[in-house]
Amino acid sequence: MRAELAKLLFLSPDILILDEPTNHLDLESTRWFESYLKQYSGSVLFTSHDRAFLNSIATKILSLEEQKARLYTGNYDSYLRERELRLTQLESQSRRQQELIDKETKFIERFRYKATKASQVQSRIKKLDKLSAIVIPRQTKKMHFNFPEPERSGHDVIKLRNLTKSYGDMVIYQGLELVLNRGDKVALVGPNGAGKTTLLKILAGVMPFDSGYRNLGVNVNTAYFAQYYVESLCPSNNLIQELETILPDAPEQQLRGMLGAFLFSGDDVKKRISVLSGGEKTRLAIAKMLLNPANLVLMDEPTNHLDIPAREILADALQAYKGTLCF
């Protein structure tokens, strides 16, 4: 991703068209890219689910709504305020229009067959015919979920002692010491290649290390979310069948309820996983993870492919989570 982006910037084009350019960039690279775009003299058209990036770079927002494109001036937060104001105004106009329609319709029905009112009735019929219906854009549905209340673990949830990990001659960790205590919420930061994903895999117990110790505490149940978890979804399964791999005896209505919280409803639950978008697969993978309540949650880039409302709801759920979190 960084190499492709570097090649593109080297060309110094008059217009940059970028689709999720900050995906897979570390924080340092993203900040550098923001600085570059602020000084860039050409035009930029981009999509992004990174709210901070949108607020930093965008001067206009092109919103796709009701099969049309509407341009808003300002950054993302400005767009949200302006759109909310516009929706409020449209709702008010729609109410007034409906009141007018009701009033004129009553008059027409009352005097339709009265000769002395015929001209007034026809005038009001024509008036109603000329009205254009006020269309209020549909509100985007949002996920709604919380992490299940976890069973209480011991105070020391997981310990790494004098741990060493290498890839061939490349030493990633040497003598690493780490303790996560009950209730900790730890963010792993560092440039790409620093070993964040490696550390999460070691904590999750899915990657061997060269030497040292990994000790789980008392009564610790672990849930690990990573991109490979999304990719491990069975393409030929539908959504119900995928959840049944975790809860084979659960009533379908219970599974439908879980899927509904993640915006899958009606016939959606019978879709094959192979036809889902990246965001839909991520939502399904999170739903699947929640079927096994855990008191230690490890998440590697959980917001990839999630839109901004979904990211914010996930963040709220993680803030409210009572267990231990490392991401």
Q: What is the pLDDT of residues 232-246, one digit of tens each?
A: 899 999 999 999 999
Residue 132: partners with Cβ closer than 8 Å, 6 or more residues away: none
- Here the tokens at position 243 are 């959840």
pLDDT value for 138: 80
Length of the chain: 327
pLDDT reported for residue 2: 67
Structural domain boundaries in the chain: 1-57, 156-326
How far, in Å, CA of 287 to CA of 198, rounded?
24
CA distance 233 to 90: 42
d(Cα 312, Cα 319) in Å, to the nearest integer? 10
With pLDDT > 90 as the criterion, what percentage of the chain qualifies? Answer: 69
Contacts of 285 (CB under 8 A, 6+ apart): 225, 229, 230, 233
- Shortest CA distance to 317 belongs to which of 146, 158, 192? 146
What kind of architecture, by CATH, is found in domain 156-326?
A: 3-Layer(aba) Sandwich (3.40)
The secondary structure element, H or E, covering residue 113 is none
Residue pair 252/285 in contact by the 8 Å Cβ criterion: no
Is 156-326 in the same CATH topology as 1-57? yes
Contacts of residue 74, defined as CB under 8 A and 6 or more positions apart, other chains included, come to: 58, 59, 60, 61, 82
pLDDT in tens, the chain (327 residues): 667 777 877 788 899 999 999 988 888 889 999 999 999 999 999 999 999 999 999 999 999 987 889 999 999 999 999 999 999 999 999 999 999 999 999 999 999 888 888 899 899 999 999 998 888 888 777 778 888 889 999 999 999 999 999 999 999 999 999 999 999 999 999 988 899 999 999 999 999 999 999 999 999 999 999 877 788 899 999 999 999 999 999 999 999 988 998 989 889 999 999 999 988 999 999 999 888 889 999 999 888 888 898 899 999 999 999 999 999
Question: pTM (2 decimals)?
Answer: 0.77
CATH superfamily of 1-57: P-loop containing nucleotide triphosphate hydrolases (3.40.50.300)
Rounded Cα–Cα distance for residues 267 and 281 (Å): 16
What per-residue confidence (pLDDT) applies to 1? 62
**pLDDT, tens digit, 9 for 90 and up, residues 67-106:** 889 999 999 999 999 999 999 999 999 999 999 999 999 9
